[in-house]
Amino acid sequence: MANVHSPRPETLSSPPFIVRRRREIRAALLATVAALALACMNDGGFSQARADALHSQVSPVVSPVSFADVVDHVRGAVVSVKVKTTETADSGDELEIPHIAPGDPLERFFKHFGEEGTPHDHHLKPHLTQAQGSGFIISADGYVVTNHHVVENATEVSVTLDDGKTVPVTIVGTDKKTDLALLKIKQGGPYQYVEFSTTTPRVGDWVIAVGNPFGLGGTVTAGIVSARGRDIGAGPYDDFLQIDAPVNRGNSGGPTFNTQGQVVGINTAIFSPSGGSVGIGFAVPAETVKTVIAALQDKGVVARGWIGVQIQPVTAEIADSLGLKSNKGALVAEAQPNSPASAAGIKSGDVILGIDGGRIDGPRDLARRVAALGPGKKANLIYWHDGSEKTAPVKLGSLPDDKEARANPGMSQDNNAFSGLGLTLAPASSVEGAGSHGVVVSDIDSDGMAAQKGLQIGDVILEAGGHAVNQPADVSAALAEAKKANRKAVLLRVKGAEGTHFVAIEVKPAS
């Protein structure tokens, strides 16, 4: 059996050590006294006013001694969500059994294990699976908020209250785009509930996460808000709070509280290589949750506004090529036919700068604002067209299924002039399947600048510098025009496998 040793006491109590420490302490005290004496000589002594001034320069940081009172106040409203689903194994996941000839020794082996020797005789049976997450009660009559992915495909859902009692619930509605769901406890209340915060937490504020990690039951962790407005690629309306309060598996759907016991977010995702907390968790902010849950409680679904544009961010190069002073806004790669945006006169290459009187930061900001306005709402679009700012009225439609205003994947803009991109162009009409308009990328250097920008063989350049192109010479002419106008970049409109988007090509301005 291994022995556990403490530090040897003689090491710390030997005479040389004591003498050495006394000399160090004495020297430090003398230096301090000398400094104070010198300060008194220079200033004629420390005045009370000087002491108060020094004190006022430092603002003490007050942290809570304990979160126990807050936890006692809220924990009765936090529940464990238990879900049952029925799954049928995919035949592709099953062992493929080869055909066994009659009389083969392997035939008896497979029959021994209940198989008939061919995969056609193997029947796939549905099996019951269980999952669990967290949630919280928001009303005395038993409405419960959790994540969409916690109850997705559920055949039966129940919640376990803080006192250990398990009660059945019904799913009122879910919203996949924000990963939120609303449940209703079937048994009558009243139930303890919590309220949403009316203020947005600041970066650095204390937060408390309560949930059911790893099925352990009500567990409390604490941390701070690390960042706001995080986009993690989960959906078109990403606007997450980033928190460092440990959030683990099973915490999904659980609440994040401020120190007043109000819900500031709902735990939804973590960043972790191992599946456990590494101090990077993400919560849907309370203002988003309140809006979505109110819609689910009212109609069971969330109806969002839609204008029908495919949009992407405005980079510095794109802004320069269009004559914009700022890279804020959303570049329209394509306005869908018969959409509200198309009816309002919005065209490819325009930049939407604002809606309904407010300016936007980028594509996701536009998507959130349009969605929040709702179908049928009339608003004014502020947009940039042909070098000037314009305004157009638009009547929002209803967001179709699986369609959304979203940004295309970002592409690197750090490239040299077009001549150094390492690609070969050909008229689209000369390449089978490329269409009759534009210039197709017929070959590309995988290590060249064009490849770094995301251009691929088969991409079709439809416009360069706002002009339609059908020959490689048209692209060269657009580059020459940009140089003459002292533009830093020329804008290419490109049709690829994932849709239409814009790429800004840097050019060397004329000297």
Distance CA 236, CA 364 (A): 7
- Peptide bond connecting 7 to the previous residue in cis, omega within 30 degrees of 0: no
Q: Which of 179, 320, 365, 459 is catalytic?
A: 179
Q: For residues 192 and 76, is the Cβ–Cβ distance under 8 A?
A: yes
For 112-133, letters b (16+ CB in 10 Å) and e give eeebebeeeebeeeeeeeebbb
Six token digits for residue 283: 């919560």
Distance CA 348, CA 343 (A): 13
Q: Which of 80, 139, 148, 149 is catalytic?
A: 149
For residue 79, list its beta bridge partners.
135
- Count of positions (residues) in the chain: 511
Which of 401, 410, 406, 353 lies closest to 381, judged by CA? 353
Q: For residues 101 and 160, is the Cβ–Cβ distance under 8 A?
A: no
Which of 184, 279, 196, 284 lies closest to 235, judged by CA? 284
Among this protein's residues, is 55 annotated catalytic?
Answer: no
Distance CA 210, CA 288 (A): 19
Query: What dihedral do alpha carbons 173, 175, 179, 180 form, nearest 10°?
Result: -40
Six token digits for residue 326: 């700022």
Q: Which of 158, 226, 252, 321 is catalytic?
A: 252
Among this protein's residues, is 93 annotated catalytic?
Answer: no
For residue 310, list its beta bridge partners.
334
DSSP character for 120? G
Distance CA 83, CA 171 (A): 11
Among this protein's residues, is 272 annotated catalytic?
Answer: no
Q: How far is CA 509 from CA 195, 455, 469, 477, 485, in A?
A: 58, 23, 22, 14, 8
Query: Looking at the annotation, which residues are catalytic?
Result: 149, 179, 252
